[in-house]
Structure 1
């Protein structure tokens, strides 16, 4: 099992937490399986950026980005060098530290 430290987020995980996840599982699925209800407006079909996370530690242990994810990430709020779409980032063997950005671009929830 891989340990994921989730940094505090005012809505999804105010206190921060540590969870255990299975290698090969997506970060999004790991969060959802531990009742951290991260947005995933496209239902994990790589069509939005609402599940964007920043991997503060362990980034190199994740699977490589494909072109579609890389293109979508360019539209994510608060993009950083270690940003990933959590629905596409598959957990490896190394422990992770993950930050859920404060904001997301979700036109459905913003009433656009």
Structure 2
């Protein structure tokens, strides 16, 4: 079962975290299942960028981004070459390390 290391984020996990999730799980689902309440305004339907993460390690082990995700990422705050929408990034067998950007384009947070 792969491990996801999450860098510290002042709101979602101030001390950082290390969690495990089964291969085939999206990063967003894994975070939510482990009480790291990352924003996901579109309910993980690949229609916004609020669940944007930057994959610091293990990027190539994830599934390839589809065109719809790539188009949305162009609007994400703090976009980097290893950015993914966590709702679309599916874990394989390798460990990954992610950083949740400080901001999202969402002006009003949803209460999920």
The TM-score range, normalised by the shorter chain, is over 0.9
**Unaligned regions of 5+ residues in structure 2, if any?**
none
Structure 2 residue 11 is matched with structure 1 residue 11: yes
1:2: which partner in 2?
2
Alignment of 1:5-84 (within 5 A): 5-84=5-84
Q: Distance in 2 between matches of 1:5 and 1:45?
A: 24
User: Displaced runs of 4+ in structure 1, greater than 3 A?
Assistant: none
What's the offset of the Cα at 1:107? 3.8
Structure 2 SS opposite 1:29: helix
Alpha-carbon distance in structure 2 between the residues aligned to 1:97 and 1:46:
21
CA drift of 1:65 comes to 0.5
Please list every run of 5 or more consecutive structure 1 residues that lacks an aligned counterpart in the other structure.
Answer: none
Comparing 88-97 with 99-108, greater Cα deviation is found at 99-108
User: TM (normalized to structure 1)?
Assistant: 0.95
Distance 1:108 1:102 in 2: 15
SS in 1 for 2:47: coil
